[in-house]
Amino acid sequence: MKKLTTLLFVLVFASSMAFAQNNDATVDQEGDNQDSYVEQVGSTNEADVVQFTDNSGAQESDVIQMGSGNVATVDQSQTGGGGNGLNSAYIEQDGTDNEATQTQYAPGYNGGQDVWGLQSGSENILTQSTGSGYTLSLTAEQYGTSNTVDQDASGAHNHGEVYQNGESNEAMQDLNGSNNGYMGDVMLIDQDGLGNYASQDFTGHGSSHSNNGEVIQLGEDNNAWQLGDGRNLNATVSQDGMGNWSNQEQFGNGHSSSVTQTGNNNTADVMQSSGGGS
């Protein structure tokens, strides 16, 4: 009943803020099977969602913001024994100069964490972080110019995707732990446009499965950077256009590297060093 009351308050509060500015929505939930929904229309609004449980039961959060200069923050934390998890967080923003942050923490054998962010406009920032746990999934979509995505995953069996369409966008993936790209899943950055930048940094080992990183760029003057330190790292870059640059560095054993470039005035650098990593 406490959870239902909190959710009802959020819905009513969000409805009263339609087409308004400088409003704050705060949701603080504690217990099992939490669910929250916040919707804001206007500019310079702020939504802050905090969910915590030390028992079983999934957490779910949805934040929708339409306008410019808005800020959305979702923090989900689940402690306790294994077998829990399945937390999900979704943020959607339409406008310019918006900022979204999604953070999840589920230690031990808590699995199935999922964050998804969608931004349409320019100069937006999306930060996603999942700490500990396993089978972690991060998805980011941005449409516009000068947008930034930063994905940071720790734990085992990480899976992440970044899709950007526009110019002067940046995507960064920092992945720690083992078995990133579990069972053939790929840590992917897919960019379509001009002057985009992609960076993937892998730390860990693949064990019986490989760590897989892939960058796809379509357009001109794009940059791709892949750095791997560990074991069984598969790095792939595909660039179609002119004036593109790719750099791959791998330290450790059992790695593979592949670069495909189509167009003129492109540059590719590959460096592999065995014996490092573990």
- The pLDDT of residue 182 is 47
The domain locations on the chain are 44-273
Compute the distance between CA of residue 243 and CA of residue 219 in angstroms, rounded to an integer: 9
Is the separation of the CB atoms in 24 and 48 below 8 Å? Answer: yes
Predicted local distance difference test score (pLDDT) of residue 82: 59
Query: How many residues can be counted in the chain?
Result: 278
**Sequential pLDDT tens for the chain (278 residues):** 333 333 434 443 443 344 557 789 999 998 888 899 999 999 999 999 999 887 667 889 999 999 999 999 999 988 766 555 678 899 999 999 999 999 988 776 666 788 999 999 999 999 999 877 667 789 999 999 999 999 988 766 778 899 999 999 999 998 876 555 444 457 899 999 999 999 998 876 555 556 788 999 999 999 999 998 877 778 999 999 999 999 999 887 778 889 999 999 999 999 988 754 43
Q: What type of residue is 6?
A: T
